[in-house]
Amino acid sequence: MSSARAELCWEKGVELDVVLNRLESYMASVGLELGVKCGETYTFSWRRQGKTILECVQRPWEVQSLLDASFRNLTWSFCSPVESTWFRCCIYSAPEEGLTCLAGEQVVRLMINFDEEPNSWTLTPEEAKRAVSKYSQLRELHTHLGCDVVNGFSDSHYSGGTAFNQDPEHLQKIFRFAKKGRNVFIVPMEEGRARRVGELDWRRVDDCN
């Protein structure tokens, strides 16, 4: 099944405890709870001597493992009372690929994955309702977490399956919320509905200072 993801970015970085505490606070305000795995809420992954080592913790900012060269990712999720997992979150480091969400001890990127593609025209009524909620929540997180930019991607758009009228400066992005530069909004989500079959002009591009 196709899915979507949001990339939340901070140019100057932000402390891990600040990000997680603000994120937990916001999610609680919209009725979402931290998922629990092995009795804890966050899972660290390290790569040591060719083996992946997992550790579940309650307060990841106290572990001080983000500077460990073997750190690979920190994952957690948020769940709704009536649904399964709502958001899946990740901060990662992949030095062998030159990719990371960190700048020293600062978090510069946070990935949030979810199931419903807000740009899709195949959503069921229930999926569309969830997509609208998640899209709106990501817009609010842009302000609540003080992000410089939030970029949105989807599997089908990335593969070209629904990539009509693409913005050449922001190829593959389905939405972009930013303090400066270009903002890209999904019109159907802004109107609280699913994208219609054959609806090609589904994005609105606005420039800000």
Name the residue with tokens 């899915």.
3
Task: Note down the domain range covering 49.
Answer: 4-208
Residue 7 pLDDT class (50, 70, 90 cuts): very high
Distance CA 138, CA 161 (A): 23
In this prediction, residues 38-60 reach a mean pLDDT of 88
- pLDDT attached to residue 117: 94
**Which of the two residues, 163 and 25, has the higher pLDDT score?**
25
In this prediction, residues 144-155 reach a mean pLDDT of 93
- pLDDT attached to residue 209: 58
pLDDT tens for 158-187 read 544 333 344 445 556 899 999 988 899 999
Q: Which segment of 30-34, 35-39, 66-70, 81-85 scores lowest on mean pLDDT?
A: 35-39
**Radius of gyration of the chain, Cα coordinates, nearest whole angstrom:** 17
- pLDDT attached to residue 170: 53
**Which of the two residues, 91 and 94, has the higher pLDDT score?**
91
- pLDDT attached to residue 82: 80
CB of 189 within 8 A of CB of 120?
no
In this prediction, residues 61-83 reach a mean pLDDT of 87
Residues 6+ apart with CB under 8 A from 155: 2, 3, 4, 117
User: Residue 27 pLDDT > 50, yes or no?
Assistant: yes
- pLDDT attached to residue 85: 92
**Which of the two residues, 29 and 167, has the higher pLDDT score?**
29
User: Residue 44 pLDDT > 60, yes or no?
Assistant: yes
Residue 78 pLDDT class (50, 70, 90 cuts): very high
**Which of the two residues, 157 and 159, has the higher pLDDT score?**
157
Which pTM was predicted?
0.90
Nearest to 14 by CA among 150, 107, 101, 92: 107
In this prediction, residues 142-146 reach a mean pLDDT of 97
Pair of tokens at residue 189 = 């989500």
- pLDDT attached to residue 166: 44
Distance CA 161, CA 176 (A): 19
Which residues does residue 57 pair with via DSSP β-bridges, in sequence order?
A: 42
Tally of domains within the chain: 1
Q: How many CB atoms lie within 10 A of CB 157?
A: 22
Residues 6+ apart with CB under 8 A from 43: 37, 54, 55, 56, 57, 74, 75, 76
In this prediction, residues 69-88 reach a mean pLDDT of 91
In whole numbers, what is the pLDDT of the chain averaged over residues?
A: 88
